[in-house]
Amino acid sequence: MPSILPKLVSSTGASDPAHDPLAALTAPPRDESDEQRAARQQQEEDAKKVSDEIDKFLKRDAESVAKRSQHVRLLLLGQSESGKSSALKSE
């Protein structure tokens, strides 16, 4: 059964911009002036910096959580019936 949606990926795996629905949304306006282009590029650079800072924060936070959640093994030694299991269950 043929697909209703247009083929978005060519045989080489590259996206075809003529059929890419997001290409029209992300492309700059055709009648953009030099001033508008400079302003848009500055906004994109600022947004990229903010995004990079958020990514760094999330990475540091994930590393911090990973360090805190390391498991510790504890070997309880003692005579039978001395309450070793009770000590573990009392958390």
What is the C-alpha separation between 27 and 34, in angstroms, rounded?
Answer: 15
Q: Higher pLDDT residue, 2 or 56?
A: 56
Q: Is the pLDDT of residue 85 over 50?
A: yes
pLDDT of residue 4: 52
Q: Is the pLDDT of residue 1 over 70?
A: no
Q: Is the pLDDT of residue 84 over 50?
A: yes
Q: Higher pLDDT residue, 21 or 37?
A: 37
Question: HEC string of 66-81?
Answer: HHHCCCCCCCCCCCCC
What is the C-alpha separation between 15 and 21, in angstroms, rounded?
Answer: 11
Q: Cβ neighbours of residue 77 under 8 Å, at least 6 residues apart?
A: 84
37-56 tens-digit pLDDT = 999 999 999 999 999 999 99
Averaged pLDDT score across all residues of the chain: 80
- Give the phi and the psi of residue 15 in degrees, each rounded to 5: -75, 135
What is the C-alpha separation between 42 and 34, in angstroms, rounded?
Answer: 12
Statement: the pTM of the whole predicted model exceeds 0.85: no
